[in-house]
Amino acid sequence: MNPHVINVTQENAQKVLIEESSIRPVVVDFWSAQSEPSIELSPVLEQIASGYNGAFLLAKVNVDELMPIAQQLGVRSVPTVMIIKEGQQIDGFSGPQSEAEIRTMLDKHLPPAWQAKIEQANELMAAEQFDEALPLLRQAYQDSDEQASIGVGLAQVLLHLNRCDDAEVILEKVMMVDQDAAYEQAMAMLELKREASNSPELQALEAEYAANPEDLNIAIQLAVQYSQTGKNREALELFLSVLRKDLGFDEGNAKRLMMDIIASLGKGDSLATEFQRKLFTLLY
């Protein structure tokens, strides 16, 4: 059952179409089992309702059973869809419509679908659950056509996860006109992270590896150090170079560590996808 979809009845019509519409917009789907276009439209509307996650209520009116309600609201054919807010019709359409056309209409009256993801992510960030906030913000950033303010929030989450390179890529896209206090805070955080990662221990390992590039044990130590300071690309490149020389090095631990880093980046991460592909090619 979809919690954002309800079937209108004679008993709940007043509550759904009038009372609920004073709380949030109600999208009313007038349909009939005798109308193929309305049957085809209904699952599209339900899918959209799920994506908006409660920003509106989808109310389904079967005109075969509730013709008086349909007539009262001026419905002359099905499918008919209308948006009701505070008891008044504010928009709608009759006849088949594409999903894109429906979303365009809804976007005029509703907060964007990705807004709910940002709100969820903010709650998770407040609880310092950055791993869980990351995929939500990444999706919102993509869905919003890379809106600068969302990008800055995404960069901050990445910095909390010590993923400095990924954060820097996003911050570099922020135009000067959008470089507000949150941006400046993220840039300062990036600079501090970079400074902290350039520790004497790391510098010593880099020097040792440069002097002994064939020593796979040193390479693994350096790769692990890179991963712990957020230099994931450098870490994955080093692990890959080790596996190219010895696929079963250290009884398979090198491969396991590399796979752990890829897994930690999360599904949909471009860096994870890139090195998953490279590792798969090497293995098979």
Q: Where are the beta strands (DSSP E) in the chain?
A: 5-7, 26-31, 57-62, 80-85, 88-94
Contact 128, 74 (CB under 8 A): no
pLDDT tens column, 233-254: 999 999 999 999 999 999 999 9
Distance between CA 239 and CA 246 in Å, rounded? 10
Which percentage of the chain shows pLDDT scores above 70?
99
pLDDT tens column, 18-69: 999 999 999 999 999 999 999 999 999 999 998 888 889 999 999 999 999 9
Contact 70, 79 (CB under 8 A): no
- pLDDT, residue 97, reads 94
Which of 127-141, 158-172, 261-275 bottoms out in mean pLDDT, i.e. has the lowest?
261-275
pLDDT tens column, 162-203: 888 889 999 999 999 999 999 999 998 888 788 767 778 888
For the question of whether the overall pTM of this predicted structure is more than 0.85, the answer is no
- pLDDT, residue 115, reads 86
Provide the CATH number for the domain formed by 5-107 in this structure: 3.40.30.10
- pLDDT, residue 113, reads 76
- pLDDT, residue 38, reads 94
Instruction: Spell out the CATH class of 114-197.
Output: mainly alpha
Read off the pLDDT of each residue in 90-115 and give the average, rounded to a whole number: 91
228 pLDDT higher than 90:
no
Q: Is the fold of 114-197 the same as that of 200-283?
A: yes
Could you tell me the fold of the domain covering 200-283?
A: 1.25.40
Q: Which residues of 129-148 are buried (b: 16+ CB within 10 A; e: fewer)?
A: ebeebbbbbbbbbebbeebb
- pLDDT, residue 31, reads 97
Contact 1, 54 (CB under 8 A): no
Per-residue tokens: 90: 């504010």
95 pLDDT higher than 90:
yes
Three-state secondary structure string covering 96-110: CCCHHHHHHHHHCCC
Q: How many residues does the chain have?
A: 284
Domain boundary assignment for the chain: 5-107, 114-197, 200-283
Contact 43, 50 (CB under 8 A): no
pLDDT tens column, 103-135: 999 989 988 878 888 989 999 999 989 999 999
What rounded mean pLDDT belongs to the chain? 91
